[in-house]
Amino acid sequence: MSTLYEKLGGEETIAKVVDYFYDLVLADDTVNHFFKNTDMEKQRRHQTKFISFALGGPNQYTGGSMAKVHEGMNIQPAHFDAIVRHLRDALAHFGVGEDDIAQALDKVETLRGDIIYK
Does the annotation place 46 within a ligand binding site? Answer: yes
pLDDT, one tens digit per residue, over 80-112 is 999 999 999 999 999 999 999 999 999 899 999
**Which residues of the chain are under the pLDDT cut of 50?**
none
For residue 112, the model assigns a pLDDT of: 93
For residue 54, the model assigns a pLDDT of: 79
Q: How far is 117 from 35, CA to CA, in rounded Å?
A: 17
Domain of 102, CATH number, reads: 1.10.490.10
Task: Name the pTM for this structure.
Answer: 0.91
Does the annotation place 33 within a ligand binding site? Answer: no
Q: What is the DSSP letter of 111?
A: T
Q: For residue 49, give the amino acid letter.
A: K
Q: Is 101 exposed, middle or buried (0-12, 13-18, 19+ CB in 10 A)?
A: middle
Diameter over CA atoms, the chain: 41
Number of domains in the chain: 1
Domain that holds residue 66: 4-115
